[in-house]
């Protein structure tokens, strides 16, 4: 079996507050602002950093919480997680832990899920329904609409990553079903997996001749955009004549390239 990593040509977008349009993309989950400005070059999203552990900050044994679910519920959560960048680094075993740790929560239309300025200890994944995100940029000003969240999108992760207050208010536009992940499971499973994935692919990309002239920052951004795709022996990865919108890196296995030089 071949394991191939791909990066699409699509560029992540963020909704502009003044545009008045909605974007339906899993790359738009990063609405929260960082608690402190972090100098960086332009890129699709800030990278996730692993927490440092040592004698002064020992990592204790972690046991994730568990909520019983039906097979249908489990399959629905797995399907939604596959749409979200935040969970793309998870292996099968880690994904199962996360799925089991998620609790179901329903919200009526008009009900606030998170409020700007409050402490945040949970991450939310949208199973069904729509939610709107608003932010007050200056005290006394009315809330500014930022975007709408749809099924498969996640929000609330930056408050967990940086122990910062919620940077925006997200309200159910319609009746919603959300899956909720606690801070401890997120930090021990999702955050660690993201950091390990980034370190592995940065090392992998540093050995690719095509990217030899890129600096580490640029390679790290490509690593963040990777999605793993598996192909069985004999299965086509791309076909001659097809529209191409994905770039592949071969990580494990061998692949053959063939070309039709004369029709027939």
| pLDDT tens digit sequence for 200-229 | 777 888 888 888 787 776 777 677 667 778
199 assigned to some structural domain: yes
Q: How far apart are the first and last CA of the chain?
A: 30
Q: Is residue 65 part of a domain?
A: no
Q: Is residue 247 part of a domain?
A: yes
The answer as to whether 244 is a domain residue is yes
Among 23, 79, 9, 3, which Cα is nearest to 225's?
Answer: 9
Q: Would you say 160 and 120 are in contact if contact means Cβ atoms under 8 Å apart?
A: yes
pTM listed for this prediction:
0.55
Name which of 171, 180, 175 is nearest 148 in CA terms: 171
pLDDT digits (tens, 9 = 90+) for 129-177: 999 999 999 999 999 999 999 998 888 887 887 788 998 999 999 999 9
Q: Does any domain span residue 234?
A: yes
Domain housing 208? 195-252
Would residue 133 count as lying in a domain?
no
Q: Is residue 239 part of a domain?
A: yes
165 touches 159 (CB < 8 A): yes
Q: How many domains does the chain have?
A: 1
Lowest mean pLDDT among 1-10, 53-62, 94-103, 224-233: 1-10
Q: What is the DSSP string of 5-39?
A: EEEESPPP----TTT------GGG---SPPSS---
Phi then psi for residue 161, to 5 deg, are: -65, -40
Q: What is the CATH number of the domain that holds 202?
A: 2.60.120.10
Q: How far apart are CA 169 and CA 142, in angstroms?
A: 12
Binned at pLDDT 50, 70 and 90, residue 115 comes out as very high
């Amino acid at each position: 079996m071949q394991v191939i990593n791909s990066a699409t040509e699509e560029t992540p977008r963020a909704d502009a507050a003044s545009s008045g349009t909605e974007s339906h993309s899993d790359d738009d989950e990063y609405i929260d602002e960082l608690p402190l400005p972090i100098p960086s070059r332009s890129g699709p999203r800030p990278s996730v950093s692993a927490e440092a552990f040592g004698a002064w900050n020992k990592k204790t044994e972690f046991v994730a919480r568990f909520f019983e679910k039906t097979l249908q519920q489990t399959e629905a959560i797995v399907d939604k997680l596959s749409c979200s960048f935040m969970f793309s680094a998870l292996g099968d075993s880690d994904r199962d832990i996360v799925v089991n740790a998620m609790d179901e929560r329903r919200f009526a239309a008009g009900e606030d899920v998170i409020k700007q300025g409050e402490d945040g200890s949970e991450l939310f994944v949208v199973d069904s329904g729509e939610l709107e995100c608003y932010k007050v940029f200056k005290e006394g000003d009315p809330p500014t609409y930022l975007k709408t969240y749809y099924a498969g999108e996640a929000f609330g992760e930056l408050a967990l990553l940086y122990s910062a207050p919620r940077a925006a208010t997200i309200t159910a536009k319609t009746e919603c079903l959300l899956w909720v992940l606690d801070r401890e499971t997120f930090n021990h499973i999702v955050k660690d997996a993201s950091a390990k994935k980034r370190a592995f692919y940065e090392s992998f990309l540093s050995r690719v001749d095509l990217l030899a002239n890129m600096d580490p920052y640029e390679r790290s951004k490509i690593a963040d955009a990777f999605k793993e795709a598996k192909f069985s022996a004999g299965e086509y990865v791309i076909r001659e004549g097809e529209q191409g919108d994905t770039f592949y890196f071969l990580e494990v296995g061998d692949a053959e390239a063939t070309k039709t030089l004369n029709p027939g």
